[in-house]
Chains A and B, each alone.
Chain A
Amino acid sequence: MSHPIAEASPPAAQPDLAVEFLDRRTPLDRARQALHRYPALSPGIVIILAVIVFGLLNPRFFYANNLSLVSQQVAVVGTLAIAQTLVILTAGIDLSVGAIMVLASMVMAQLASQNGIPAPLSLLLGLVVGLAAGALNGILVTRLKLPPFIVTLGTLSIFTALTLLYSNSASVTGQDIPALITGTGNTFKIGGVNFTYGVVMMLALYVLMAFILNSTAWGRHVYAVGDDKEAARLSGIRVNRVLMSVYVAAGAIIAIGSWIQIGRADAASPNAGTDINLDTITAVVIGGTSLFGGRGNIWGSLLGALIVGVFRNGLALAGLDVLYQTLAVGVLIIVAVSVDQWIRKVRK
């Protein structure tokens, strides 16, 4: 394993302080220490290797319209993965991201197309639905003290049923939806590659969330709560308030994901979100965020979403059956979690 790949090593600002701290270590230990310190390092290595391999297998991988396609495929999962990362950092898990995304997208599309509500207001009401759904998860986790897995398993069903009841199980097609709402699927060109505005929104959200997580007290508290809830409480952090804000923020981010999804599909369908829960968890886990909470990096989740997208796309271009893509994603998850466990052994 050649770990010192220049592009993959995030902020090299603090020169190996960790190394001088424990000095009798093998190169393998050092690699582990580096991966432990920079959670986004291992997905960074994987994506670079994947791009090289798939590019060699089929040069069409690097064609402009293929790269554009990959970016669009990643936009929705990548956005929802931000919400998922927040929840997983607090040692929780959100199984309802897909359901909230579909519910909010149906609200946005139907209000605008069938109830004649102006597009900006429809988007706003969709956002309110996302916030409310996140708040419900948050209340159940903090007030009833239920495990997030159980809470979101329940709300997954509730939101899915609400979506089908509200929409009468019918999709709304792109022509019926105002241009502002489907506008996230519109494209512009950079160097011959088409990017959608949805991709730009996703990237902007990553930049924003990376800033919040790394540079604000709230971000540090999110990590602390996931790391050791009791220690955070005794340090004076209001744990329930942090958890609540995480679920509400997740709801808001998911609602933005709904908007991107409508643009990407040029429609709003009540059956759109079936696979997306697991895809977001896959992206976060591959991205090096620990399911035990407190450790991870938001950029890792973007890399994780990209890895899933690149694998699906690259394997398809290499002429493999779609089932092998699913198989490959499964293998990726298990490898990623095994690597995470191995890295965590640094902690004695």
Chain B
Amino acid sequence: MTAANTLSPKIPAETRQPVLQAKNLVKTYGRVVGLDGVSLELYPGEVLAIIGDNGAGKSTLVKCLTGAEVPDEGEILLDGQPIRFKRPQDAHEAGIETVYQSLAVAPALDVASNLYLGREKRKSGILGSVFRMMDKKGMRNEAETGLRNLGISTLQDVTVPVENLSGGQRQAVAVARAAAFGSKVVVLDEPTAALGVRESNQVLELVRTLRDRGIPVILISHNMPHVFEVADRIHIQRLGKRAGTITPQSHTMTEAVAIMTGARRVDDDGA
């Protein structure tokens, strides 16, 4: 395969600047090498899947990109600008939103409160500035609009506590929160791992909606059919390194698994 093969055919590679780029990231834990010079590019409006066996370094890679870990070496660029994240909050503020596997929602709070948790809107005027009153109604209305824009039809009522929702609906809340605040990049960690078939499809649909709205998505998943269904490009981690970047068009699922396990090599690593 050629380099052009690994990129989306629509736009030539030279004209595109990655939204998020990692160059030669190295992360060691004592003697254990988590990342051994890994590079990654995320282009505007694409879904980039990261796959790899256990211990291949996918979570370390994602942690470095989302500020949960600080890489020992290497560089991260956001919109072409070098950036350093010391904690998750830094990445968050830079516009990288992460949906964790644990979902990070407060079960007793309702949907709207969860969407705005940690960034509540205050009322305008003296009620907001002096009495610090939250604009509950405004947040509710915007939550409803936001959910509708993302095509999440299963959440009609934003005043329902999250604990009353199904797994897929909770995932939708978490994804909606990540997408809601002018984020540049959304990172989804195993979003379909705990879900049934129908709910998984809803989440994948949501991923496509995000992409169609111009928000690039990094998707970490073990589920090959899901990855091949939704990803534009697939970054394969193996033993702390990038084994290659492929597309669902260029390789089959079997080939991807073969690369993942080392049974096969990618001649051109797609960088």
Say whether B133 contacts A227, CB under 8 Å.
no
How distant is A324 from chain B, measured CB to nearest CB, in Å? Answer: 36
> Chain B interface secondary structure, helix, strand, loop or mixed?
loop
How many CB-defined contacts (below 8 Å) exist between A and B?
Answer: 80
Identify which of residues 3-54 in chain B touch chain A, using a CB-to-CB cut-off of 8 Å: none
Which residue of chain B has the shortest Cβ distance to A17 in the bound complex? B157
Which residue, of B98, B117, B157, has the highest number of chain A Cβ atoms within 10 A? B117
A residues in contact with B92, CB < 8 Å:
236
Q: Is A230 an interface residue (CB 8 A)?
A: yes
A residues in contact with B105, CB < 8 Å:
228, 231
How distant is A82 from chain B, measured CB to nearest CB, in Å? Answer: 19
How distant is A26 from chain B, measured CB to nearest CB, in Å? Answer: 17
Identify which of residues 1-41 in chain A touch chain B, using a CB-to-CB cut-off of 8 Å: 14, 17-18, 21-22, 37
The answer to whether A231 and B159 touch (CB under 8 A), given A22-B164, A217-B134, A236-B89, is no
Of B118-126, B206-214, B237-245, the segment with at least 4 beta carbons within 8 Å of chain A is B118-126
Say whether A17 contacts B160, CB under 8 Å.
yes
Assembly CA distance A295 to B98 (angstroms): 26
How distant is A118 from chain B, measured CB to nearest CB, in Å? Answer: 31
Which residue, of B105, B108, B136, has the highest number of chain A Cβ atoms within 10 A? B108
A residues in contact with B88, CB < 8 Å:
234
B residues in contact with A347, CB < 8 Å:
107, 163
The answer to whether A215 and B133 touch (CB under 8 A), given A14-B159, A21-B160, A234-B100, is yes
The answer to whether A235 and B117 touch (CB under 8 A), given A22-B164, A220-B109, is yes
**Binary contact readout B183-215 vs A (1 if CB under 8 angstroms, 0 otherwise):** 000000000000000000000000000000000
Q: Is B171 an interface residue (CB 8 A)?
A: no
A residues in contact with B118, CB < 8 Å:
221, 232, 235-237
Assembly CA distance A347 to B161 (angstroms): 10
A residues in contact with B160, CB < 8 Å:
17-18, 21
How distant is B107 from chain A, measured CB to nearest CB, in Å? Answer: 6
Q: Is A216 an interface residue (CB 8 A)?
A: yes
Say whether B159 contacts A227, CB under 8 Å.
no
Select A227's contact among B100, B108, B120, B157, beta carbons within 8 Å: B108
B residues in contact with A17, CB < 8 Å:
157, 159-160
The answer to whether A218 and B104 touch (CB under 8 A), given A14-B159, A21-B164, is no
B residues in contact with A218, CB < 8 Å:
132
How distant is A92 from chain B, measured CB to nearest CB, in Å? Answer: 16
B residues in contact with A18, CB < 8 Å:
160, 164
Assembly CA distance A22 to B161 (angstroms): 13
Q: Is A54 an interface residue (CB 8 A)?
A: no
Which residue, of A18, A21, A22, A217, has the highest number of chain B Cβ atoms within 10 A? A217
**Binary contact readout A184-228 vs B (1 if CB under 8 angstroms, 0 otherwise):** 000000000000000000000000000100011110110110011
Say whether B104 contacts A235, CB under 8 Å.
yes
Say whether B157 contacts A234, CB under 8 Å.
no
Say whether A224 contacts B109, CB under 8 Å.
yes
The answer to whether A228 and B106 touch (CB under 8 A), given A18-B164, A22-B164, is yes
Say whether B106 contacts A232, CB under 8 Å.
yes
The answer to whether A216 and B133 touch (CB under 8 A), given A223-B108, A230-B104, is yes
How distant is A15 from chain B, measured CB to nearest CB, in Å? Answer: 11
Assembly CA distance A236 to B133 (angstroms): 19
Q: Is B247 an interface residue (CB 8 A)?
A: no
Assembly CA distance A216 to B127 (angstroms): 10
B residues in contact with A232, CB < 8 Å:
106, 117-118
How distant is A290 from chain B, measured CB to nearest CB, in Å? Answer: 9
The answer to whether A230 and B117 touch (CB under 8 A), given A21-B160, A217-B132, A236-B92, is no
Which A residues contact B (CB, under 8 angstroms)? 14, 17-18, 21-22, 37, 211, 215-218, 220-221, 223-224, 227-228, 230-232, 234-237, 294-295, 346-347
5 contacts across the A-B interface (CB closer than 8 A): A18-B164, A232-B118, A236-B119, A294-B106, A347-B107
If A227-B108, A228-B105, A294-B106 are given as contacts, then 16 extra A-B residue pairs at C-beta distance below 8 Å, sorted by A number, are: A14-B159, A215-B136, A220-B109, A220-B117, A224-B106, A227-B106, A227-B109, A230-B104, A232-B106, A234-B102, A235-B106, A236-B118, A237-B118, A346-B164, A347-B107, A347-B163
